[in-house]
Amino acid sequence: MLIISRKTDIKQSNKLSILQWVRNSGETTQPEISKELGLSRPTVSALVEELILEGYIKVSGMGSSTDQGGKRPKLIAFHARGGGILALYFTVNTIKAALMDLSANLLHELRVSITPKDTTETMLAKVKDLAGALLLKAKELGIPVKGIGVGCPGLVETSTGTILTSTHLEVLNGCSLGESLSSAFHLPVWVDNECRNQVLAEKMFGEGQDVDTFVSLMTDVGIGAGIIIDNRIMRGKDDSFGEIGHTTIQMDGLKCRCGNDGCWEMYASSNSLMSRIHENLSRTLLLKDMVQTRDELTFELIGEAIRRGDDVVYQLAIEDLGKYLGIGIANLVNSINPELIIIHGEMIHLGERLITEIEKQIQQRALPVPKERVRVIFSKLGPKANLIGSCALVLKELFDNPELLFQVNL
Ligand SMILES: [Zn+2]
């Protein structure tokens, strides 16, 4: 355990306050920092100097002099490229990896396929190869990497970075990913459930920035939720909070991979919609020909068929899916009283009509007070939301722990 003297502690805390202020201000000056944070000018000057040397802030120009005249102060700004983060993320068939800067801007991206032949060992080797290649890229760009963040499906023991169980990627069960990466690269590593990383991404960079209590809902192979209540991310006793996809909405319903019957994700996930569309493809009006021409069935194509007036697809992908999604979301609205529900995943291609259908269900089923409050929207973070999430995980930990932020400089 790192022992920090009280003097260092106060200094680091002041330094972090200055960095946070600069990060949130766009551009500022040392006199402004001194006034806003109540720190003496010499203290601000010394700490700004250190932050410039460490690469976290930069001089971005010259400000205007005060009414009393005098020297024009230097403008200073956050230097996002003063550090890099390795962000990794697993889908059921791909490992995605990116080098990102301290504002989660993408600098370089790599990916590798997961095959049915993969074992835990080959998966670890693939992850290490990706991380190694990105570290080389960071070196080439002259960016010091501050940490590695990983987003995984399933239950993660966050204290050790071990993936305990992953229903949709069983090869990762028991994989001590965090320890393996930190011993290979001598960097701090954080591993967490992908949905929790996504909600952090929304809090730091997305639609949740000014919202205290909200849900980030992932609809993909399964359904999971990242939940922030009163600005605190919810984890539960065993990091299992938010496994909302496995709540029962149909007694004696379809068998789920978790072993239960009638789980919500068997009816409202992207995968479940794809299965229903496949089963009913022959009776669709336009989609069957579109699929034949393009030789694939995608959410973009389903969205296009809806826009062009395929009523069968509309029934399946808007009315039926909206009902299933809306029922589960109404349960969430009743149980946690969120201000906002942000939907992630391919369903964004189905358009606002899906949101309208979900809202109908909320109006029908949720209680008067919470349903009045809640808004439902699609995420605006785009296809990189999960990588931004893995990056956000590291940024949160670094900015919560100044001893890590100011000492890791590899
Ligand atoms: Zn289940």
272 alpha carbon – ligand 1 mean position (Å): 12
Question: Is residue 30 scored above 70 in pLDDT?
Answer: yes
Nearest to 162 by CA among 124, 191, 184: 191
Amino acid at 283: R
- Can you tell me the distance from the alpha carbon of 25 to that of 16, in angstroms, rounded to the nearest whole number? 14
Q: How far does the centroid of ligand 1 lie from the alpha carbon of residue 169, in Å?
A: 14
| Ligand 1 centroid to residue 345 C-alpha, Å | 19
| Alpha-carbon span 63 to 28, nearest angstrom | 9
Mean pLDDT of 133-139: 98
Chain segment 216-241, per-residue pLDDT in tens? 999 988 999 999 999 999 999 988 89
State the pLDDT confidence band at 408, using cuts at 50, 70 and 90.
Answer: very low
The confidence band for 69, taking pLDDT boundaries of 50, 70 and 90, is: low
Category of 30 on φ-ψ map: left (φ > 0), alpha (ψ -120 to 50) or beta = alpha
**Cα–ligand 1 centroid distance for 165 (angstroms):** 13
CATH of 6-78 among 1.10.10.10, 3.40.50.150, 3.30.930.10, 3.40.50.720:
1.10.10.10
CA distances to 39, 58, 224, 321, 373 from 32, rounded to whole Å, are 10, 16, 43, 52, 38
Query: What is the dotted CATH code of the domain comprising 82-199+386-405?
Result: 3.30.420.40
In whole angstroms, give the CA distance from residue 287 to residue 281. 7
Q: Is the pLDDT of residue 81 over 60?
A: yes
Neighbours of 330 (CB within 10 A): 22
* Distance in Å, CA 341 to ligand 1 centroid: 21
Percent of the chain whose predicted confidence (pLDDT) is above 90 = 82
pLDDT of residue 9: 81
- For the segment 20-34, the average pLDDT, to the nearest whole number, is 92
**317 CA distance to ligand 1 centroid (A)?**
21
C-alpha 236 to ligand 1 mean position (Å): 18
Q: How far is the CA of 339 from the centre of ligand 1 (A)?
A: 27
- Ligand 1 centre to CA of 266 (Å) is 7
Integer Cα distance of 312 and 316 in angstroms: 6
**Rg, C-alpha atoms of the chain:** 24
pLDDT mean over 334-338: 96
Residue 15 has pLDDT above 50, yes or no: yes
pLDDT at 63 over 90: no
Question: Ligand 1 centroid to 259 CA: how many Å?
Answer: 6
Average pLDDT, the chain: 93
Query: 346: which residues sit within 8 A by CB, 6+ positions away?
Result: 219, 220, 270, 298, 299
The CA–CA distances, whole Å, from 277 to 202, 325, 333 equal: 30, 16, 28
Ligand 1 midpoint to CA 92 (Å): 17
CATH class, 207-380 region: alpha beta
Per residue in 172-207, pLDDT tens?
A: 899 999 999 999 999 999 999 999 999 999 999 999
For the chain, give every residue range classified as CATH 3.30.420.40. 82-199+386-405, 207-380
pLDDT at 127 over 50: yes
Please report the pLDDT score of residue 170 as a whole number. Answer: 87
Residue 5 has pLDDT above 70, yes or no: no
Cα of 38 from ligand 1 centre, angstroms: 53
Residue 8 predicted with pLDDT over 70? no
Mark out the alpha helices in 281-320 (DSSP H runs). 287-294, 299-307, 311-314
Q: Tell me the CA–centroid distance for residue 219 and ligand 1, in Å.
A: 14
Strands of 29-144 (E only): list them.
57-62, 74-78, 84-90, 94-101, 106-113
Q: 95 C-alpha to center of ligand 1: Å? A: 24
Specify the pLDDT at position 26: 86
- What stretch of H or E contains 164? strand 162-165
Per-residue pLDDT at 67 exceeds 70: no
Q: Residue 143's pLDDT is what?
A: 96
Instruction: Give the pLDDT band (50/70/90) at residue 29.
Output: very high
Ligand 1 centroid–CA 262 distance in Å is 7
Q: Please list the residue range(s) of the chain that carry CATH number 1.10.10.10.
A: 6-78
Three-state DSSP at 209 gives coil
Q: Could you tell me which of 375, 286, 357, 285 has the C-alpha nearest to residue 321?
A: 357
- State the distance from the centre of ligand 1 to the C-alpha of 292, rounded, in angstroms: 33
Rounded distance from Cα 61 to ligand 1 centre (Å) = 56
Instruction: Say if residue 157 is exposed, middle or buried (CB neighbours under 10 Å; 0-12, 13-18, 19+).
Output: middle
Tell how far the Cα of 270 is from the centroid of ligand 1, in angstroms.
Answer: 15
Whole-angstrom CA distances from 323 to 75, 316, 348 are: 53, 10, 16
Mean pLDDT throughout 312-333?
A: 97
Give distance in angstroms: CA of 265 to centre of ligand 1: 7
CA of 224 to the centre of ligand 1 (A): 11
Query: Which of 213, 216, 214, 218 lies closest to 199, judged by CA?
Result: 216
Task: Please give the distance, rounded to the nearest whole angstrom, from the Cα atom of residue 77 to the centre of ligand 1.
Answer: 48
Centre of ligand 1 to C-alpha 315, Å, is 25
Q: How sure is the predictor about 410, in pLDDT bands with cuts at 50, 70 and 90?
A: very low
Neighbours of 267 (CB within 10 A): 22
308 CA distance to ligand 1 middle (Å): 35
